[in-house]
């Protein structure tokens, strides 16, 4: 694998704060960002749109390799995600799509199909990569590896507030149950299970603020001599 620049990996379970913290760290450094979960979510949407079968792993792999995705800057400075010509930025974020993505993510051929695409995000001046297997499988040579976690109850509470702010109605107890179910599936799948990479800095954010987490990661980046 040719690394086009330094890489910081931030792995962990759903709702731990990976996306939020990755964006803040990438902004501070002026580096690129990879939201690998979005790729699994995009694949889930594409599979639904095409009415494809779950059973046909080889076809899923081909779809993963050739997924037609564009990231477009909006006039407000945000990023719109376009799948096969359709804007799916909002549709991507539902719990339903997340759960389907997690089922697809357990299929080895799907993971293989997305591997090259994910590695292509590694560009100068550097990359902050957010996911489940960024430090273990996709970027094993990353200079800084973080495993960000929090209790399932705290993560469900955060997700609950996030979805409520978007106007989605969800049941908190149901959310705790699906988060635990997703944790279980992500941690116990035979390929690329959710485990801290060797040498990863493990941060439990249950009682930390977002700024507190970012500060810990920035200290690690300084320690590694990246800035
Ligand atoms: N340390 C924290 N304390 C409180 N809320 C947090 C913290 N980290 C993230 N959040 C909030 O939790 C929600 C989920 O965070 P997100 O970054 O989407 O998690 P992930 O990418 O790990 O699924 C967001 O609304 C975010 O603002
Ligand atoms: N690198 C990754 C990223 C996501 N995923 C899967 O994709 C699903 C959706 O990822 P996500 O990061 O968008 O989900 P949240 O953590 O935001 O809920 C996860 O539940 C994982 O099963 C994965 O297996 N490997």
Could you tell me if residue 211 is inside a domain?
yes
Task: Say whether 140 sits in a helix, a strand or coil.
Answer: coil
Whether residue 213 has its Cβ less than 6 Å from ligand 1: yes
Could you tell me if residue 72 is inside a domain?
yes
Could you tell me if residue 227 is inside a domain?
no
Interval between CA 12 and ligand 1 midpoint (Å): 12
Q: Predicted ipTM?
A: 0.98
Mutate to test the pocket of ligand 2, among 36, 40, 116 (most ligand atoms within 8 A of CB): 40
Q: Give the pLDDT means over successive 10-residue stretches in the chain (227 positions).
A: 82 96 97 96 96 91 96 87 96 92 95 96 97 97 98 96 89 94 93 96 98 98 96
Instruction: Answer for the pair 139, 88: CB distance below 8 angstroms, yes or no.
Output: no
CA 167, 182, 187, 189 torsion: positive or negative? negative
The CATH number assigned to the domain holding 14 equals 3.40.50.300
The CA-to-CA distance between both ends of the chain, in Å, stands at 23
Could you tell me if residue 183 is inside a domain?
yes
Interval between CA 212 and ligand 1 midpoint (Å): 12
Considering its fold, how many domains does the chain have in total?
Answer: 1
pTM of the model: 0.96
Task: State how beta strands 79-83 and 69-73 pair.
Answer: antiparallel
Domain range holding 137?
Answer: 7-221
């Amino acid at each position: 694998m040719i690394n086009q620049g330094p890489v910081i990996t931030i792995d962990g379970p759903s709702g731990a704060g990976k996306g939020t913290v990755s964006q803040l760290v990438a902004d501070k450094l002026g580096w690129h960002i990879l939201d690998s979960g979005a790729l699994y979510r995009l694949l889930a949407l594409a599979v639904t749109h095409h009415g494809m079968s779950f059973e046909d792993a080889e076809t899923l792999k081909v779809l993963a390799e050739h997924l037609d995705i564009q990231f477009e800057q909006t006039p407000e400075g945000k990023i719109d995600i376009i799948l096969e010509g359709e804007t799916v930025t909002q549709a991507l974020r539902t719990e339903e799509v997340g759960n389907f993505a997690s089922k697809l993510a357990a299929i080895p051929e799907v993971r293989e199909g997305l591997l090259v695409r994910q590695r292509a995000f590694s560009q100068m001046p550097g990359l902050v990569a957010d996911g489940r297997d960024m430090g273990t499988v996709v970027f094993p040579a990353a200079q800084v590896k973080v495993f960000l976690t929090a209790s399932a109850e705290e993560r469900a509470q955060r997700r609950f507030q996030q979805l409520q702010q978007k106007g989605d109605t969800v049941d908190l107890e149901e959310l705790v149950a699906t988060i635990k179910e997703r944790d279980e599936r992500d941690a116990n799948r035979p390929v690329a299970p959710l485990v801290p990479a060797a040498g990863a800095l493990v941060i439990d954010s249950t009682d930390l603020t977002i700024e507190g987490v970012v500060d810990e990661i920035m200290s690690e980046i300084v320690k590694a001599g990246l800035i």
